A and B are shown apart, each in its own frame.
Chain A
Amino acid sequence: MALRGDWVYENNGGTCVAIAGLDYCVVAADTRLSVGYSIHTRDYSKICKLADKCVLASSGFQGDMKALQKNLAAKHLIYQHQHNKQMSCPAMARLLSNTLYYKRFFPYYTFNILGGLDSEGKGCVYTYDAVGSYERVGYSCQGTGGALIMPVLDNQLKSPSPLLLPTRDAVTPLSESEAVDLVKDVFASATERDIYTGDKLEIIVVNAAGIRQEFLDLRKD
């Protein structure tokens, strides 16, 4: 096992952000696909709609990203046949965790955020590491620009400390449009300093009305 080469992985970059509100969830990722100093394409969607109220944004190695998305989509299709309903976001979150951990010793090199609405219609965000540890949070970011964005989100969203008892709700106090604007700002900023983030921003908003998609151009240099 220790003899496995590092050539089986590639970092194709990219940044994902998700913010959960009281009755909405914003999931966003840039569309640049690069390796080293080269850009493969400026228009690659890293976001995948898994269920009616559940979307997955991933970054890392593109081959693993796509394999993971297809795997989850196939599992969800079986779930629909067996239960005649869409999988809930918390259920999908556990499924993703197990799927990642299943490959603990030859991991999917992917950094994921799952966003959507829970069964009560409240916004939810789940954040992961490559081998499946996960946590429900109010907002999160992953990927090459993650370290640049996270402190800004902490500063702007001030989620209640997880140490407080009884536990407080993690959802952010922002309105839907404020959250979308914040996402646009943090991506515009990350693009300035992270060479793996840029070209275009894809934003998915999940709310009671359904799923909405919008795009914003980012710097292409």
Chain B
Amino acid sequence: MEWAKDNIRANAIAPGLILTPLAKTVSDFHRWNPYVTGTSVLGLKYKDGIILAADMGGSYGSTLRYKSVERLKPIGKHTILGASGEISDFQEILRYLDELIIYDLMWDDGNSLGPKEVHSYLNRVMYNRRNKFNPLWNSLVVGGVKNGQKYLGMVGMIGTHYEDNHVATGFGNHLARPIMRAEWHEDMSFEDAVKLLEKCLLVLLYRDRSAINKFQIAKITKDGVTISEPYALKTFWGFSAFQNPSKGAEGSW
């Protein structure tokens, strides 16, 4: 029971951390639990390209530990990447991608990696790490435009991946996707797309406790990537359900 003794050490590093036969050492333990996490990322196709949206929170368990985490990043010339899940793993992924893009650039043959290639690469990385039982604790959204082709895809922690006209990770898949399914259409203008995403972000802000009111929206078109400055949405807490949430569900005493 060598691992049981390590519990003292483990507990000093992260309160509440308990070692088991599955996670024998502190570094093993990292494989099963995320530390600082980001919540949902949303993405959709619109008339001229792809828009991604995410808030800037970084949660340490249920504590909102970081409030300026950039979770939307440009990758090469044609791609943007959004991440939810473990922030450190995301930053590791960004290092992989930097290397990938630089090595690709060094050929100097005029070719460049598009969103499709980046999506495929990320899938192989995620799937390979799960095969080693040491996953990267993220759900990733990949969007981009190359040769006039729009591309939007997502990759999960264990290598599940797909493309769609709109995607959302985590809570977003429960709360935002139904709104997007109802309101999304092929030739949305940029303004309509932003309006739709902000509606989704607001719902998430109200119902996802890890969500914070500080967002970034990233846009990619054939002309390149634009990532917005952080901004907040106007909230309205006067809904009757918010005023007296336990109305109609009172206890018997």
Interfacial chain B residues near A10, Cβ < 8 Å = 156, 158, 160
In the bound complex, what is the Cα–Cα distance between A4 and B21 (angstroms)? 10
**In the complex, residue of chain A having the shortest beta-carbon distance to the beta carbon of B153:** A41
In the bound complex, what is the Cα–Cα distance between A40 and B155 (angstroms)? 11
Interfacial chain B residues near A8, Cβ < 8 Å = 130-131, 133, 158
Q: Range of interface residues on chain B? A: 20 to 34
- 4 nearest CB pairs, A to B: A63-B159, A41-B164, A41-B162, A62-B160
In the bound complex, what is the Cα–Cα distance between A41 and B181 (angstroms)? 11
Chain A residues 51-68 with CB under 8 Å of chain B are: 61-63, 66-67
In the bound complex, what is the Cα–Cα distance between A68 and B130 (angstroms)? 15
Contact sample, A vs B, 18 pairs, CB 8 Å cutoff: A5-B32, A7-B135, A8-B130, A10-B158, A12-B160, A33-B162, A38-B173, A39-B177, A40-B154, A40-B162, A40-B164, A41-B162, A43-B164, A62-B161, A62-B162, A63-B158, A63-B159, A66-B123
Minimum distance in angstroms from B151 CB to a CB of chain A:
14
In the bound complex, what is the Cα–Cα distance between A8 and B134 (angstroms)? 10
- Residue B174 lies at the interface, judged by CB distance under 8 Å to chain A: yes
Contact with B along A1-25 (1 / 0, CB 8 A): 0011101111010000000000000
Interfacial chain A residues near B135, Cβ < 8 Å = 7
Minimum distance in angstroms from A199 CB to a CB of chain B:
12
Would you call the interface of chain A mostly helix, strand, loop, or mixed? Answer: mixed
What 18 additional pairs, Cβ within 8 angstroms, besides A63-B156, A66-B161?
A: A3-B21, A3-B22, A4-B133, A7-B32, A8-B130, A8-B133, A38-B173, A40-B154, A40-B160, A40-B164, A40-B173, A61-B158, A62-B161, A62-B162, A63-B123, A63-B159, A66-B159, A67-B127
Q: Range of interface residues on chain A? A: 20 to 34
State whether A7 touches B158 (Cβ < 8 A).
yes
- Residue A152 lies at the interface, judged by CB distance under 8 Å to chain B: no
Minimum distance in angstroms from B228 CB to a CB of chain A:
27
In the bound complex, what is the Cα–Cα distance between A120 and B194 (angstroms)? 58
In the bound complex, what is the Cα–Cα distance between A65 and B127 (angstroms)? 12
State whether B162 touches A44 (Cβ < 8 A).
yes
In the bound complex, what is the Cα–Cα distance between A41 and B174 (angstroms)? 13
Contact with B along A182-216 (1 / 0, CB 8 A): 00000000000000000000000000000000000
Interfacial chain B residues near A74, Cβ < 8 Å = none
Interfacial chain B residues near A12, Cβ < 8 Å = 160
Minimum distance in angstroms from B214 CB to a CB of chain A:
27
Looking at A12, A66, A106, the one whose CB has the most chain B CB atoms below 10 A away is A66
Minimum distance in angstroms from A59 CB to a CB of chain B:
13
- Residue A35 lies at the interface, judged by CB distance under 8 Å to chain B: yes
State whether B174 touches A63 (Cβ < 8 A).
no
In the bound complex, what is the Cα–Cα distance between A22 and B57 (angstroms)? 61
**In the complex, residue of chain B having the shortest beta-carbon distance to the beta carbon of A3:** B22
Interfacial chain B residues near A43, Cβ < 8 Å = 164
In the bound complex, what is the Cα–Cα distance between A61 and B159 (angstroms)? 9
Interfacial chain A residues near B174, Cβ < 8 Å = 38
Interfacial chain B residues near A38, Cβ < 8 Å = 173-174
In the bound complex, what is the Cα–Cα distance between A167 and B22 (angstroms)? 50
Minimum distance in angstroms from A4 CB to a CB of chain B:
7
Interfacial chain B residues near A35, Cβ < 8 Å = 160
Minimum distance in angstroms from A141 CB to a CB of chain B:
23
Interfacial chain A residues near B131, Cβ < 8 Å = 8, 106
**In the complex, residue of chain A having the shortest beta-carbon distance to the beta carbon of B130:** A8
